[in-house]
Amino acid sequence: MDFKTLEGGVCAAKGFKASGVYCGIKENPTKKNDIAMLVADVMCNTAGVYTQNKVKGAPVIVTKKNLEKSGGKAKAVIVNSKNANTCNADGEEKANEMCRLTADALGIKPEEVIVASTGVIGQVLPIEPIKAAVPQLMEKLSYTGNLEAATAIMTTDTVKKEYAVEFEIGGKVCRMGGMAKGSGMIHPNMATTLNFITTDCAVSVPMLQKALSEIVKITYNCLSVDGDQSTNDTCMLMSDGLAENPEITAEGAEFDTFKAALYQVMANLTRMLAKDGEGATKLLTCVCSGAPDLDTAIIVAKSVIRSPLFKCAMFGSDANWGRILCAIGYAEADFDINKVDVSLASKAGKINVCANGAGVDFSEDEAKKILTEDEIDIYIDLKLGNEKATAWGCDLTYDYVKINGDYRS
């Protein structure tokens, strides 16, 4: 299925307002937005997936507790960038305070608020600028505020990430849209990064969670920028039901359509995150097919996407397929390396570089032409079954080192 795409990001679905402002969490001469709010017209069913790092940002802990307390109901999101509010003694207190400030302004309960933060770990979050920003965020809330919000959650991202689609459930037109931020410390298990997805399609909390967990596994969790798993990874999916379809409460064709829409939104956001990975000059998409099971396909595709040597070779447009095979070889999965085929492709063409685990003759000139493009596809065929997975990543460049050699300053 391929659904019609829409503008509007998190405001594409009916009943979602957003806003973003600069509040000064960190001194910033360009005064870029650093705090965002997202508010639904009605209470939403909500599902979440969070980082599996033992070090969890305080906002992750607080959001999980809130949704447990509210039974998966939420009406608002408050999120700041530039400070992760993680590893601070007063972290949970501050995250709770962000929820209280938002709840008071909206006349809802604090546990109906989702809170998220991204930025530097281990610096005390200043609450005063946030307190001052909440009334401004409230005032600016609008059904076209998605862009202001999407820019407010950016850290080292160079472009905002939004995507939205339209689909039909039970004869009703439904919409779903999302925003995401990257762009380093990206090797999810789960999500990586902050992701907020809204929909007006009515779905029960358990089915929302089921869809999100399933799709996260094959989208955000198949993304690797640098192999570092963030402490604040959060992916939220909110449904306000305003499309007025009969609520999806079980598996079936409607649930499948919903999941296909969710896949389209999340896969495209994942792709944008990879393409805007820190210092990236090239988007790398690795498709592993012919796998005996889905997990094997995922593990192999991710192993290649994560390899620093392979990533450097792609930066240098070097068809060093030995590094691809090497990364396949250390993937912790069960397959026969002597059956593996590898090919490289871009809009400039496609070439086979490895068949049955050994090199094949190919034109270096043709390979160079293919690899100098800025979107490269790597196809791996294990020739053992019918399962398939995609992993997304980017090249490893001088700029990645530059950005991360002195990120705090």
List interacting residues with a copy of itself (CB under 8 A).
52-56, 84, 86-89, 120-123, 184-185, 189, 226-231, 306-310, 312-313, 315-316, 318, 320-323, 325-331, 335, 337, 354, 357-359, 396-398, 400-409
CB of 91 to a copy of itself, least distance (A): 8
Indicate the burial class of 180 (C-beta count within 10 angstroms; 0-12, 13-18, 19 or more).
buried
Main-chain dihedrals φ then ψ at residue 38, nearest 5 degrees: -135, 125
CA distance 372 to 112: 49
- Assess whether 102 carries a catalytic annotation: no
- Closest to a copy of itself by CB, 171 vs 405, is 405
Nearer to a copy of itself, 21 or 331 (CB): 331
**17 vs 282 by CB, closer to a copy of itself:** 282
> Residue 47 CB, nearest distance to a copy of itself (Å)?
23
Q: Give the residue with the Cβ less far from a copy of itself, 53 or 195.
A: 53
**Minimum distance between the CB of residue 372 and a copy of itself, rounded to whole angstroms?**
13
Nearest to 291 by CA among 354, 338, 351, 333: 333
Closest approach of Cβ 344 to a copy of itself, in Å?
Answer: 14
CB of 406 to a copy of itself, least distance (A): 4
Cα dihedral sign for 201, 143, 117, 163?
positive
In sequence order, the β-bridge partners of residue 76 are: 39, 113
Alpha-carbon span 132 to 114, nearest angstrom? 19
Of the residues 192, 193, 257, 390, only one is catalytic, namely 192
Closer of 215 and 328 to a copy of itself (Cβ): 328
Q: How far apart are CA 3 and CA 251, in angstroms?
A: 20
**Phi and psi at residue 380, to the nearest 5°:** -120, 130
Are the C-beta atoms of 48 and 40 separated by less than 8 Å?
no
- Are the CB atoms for 236 and 114 separated by under 8 Å? yes
Q: Which residues are catalytic?
A: 192
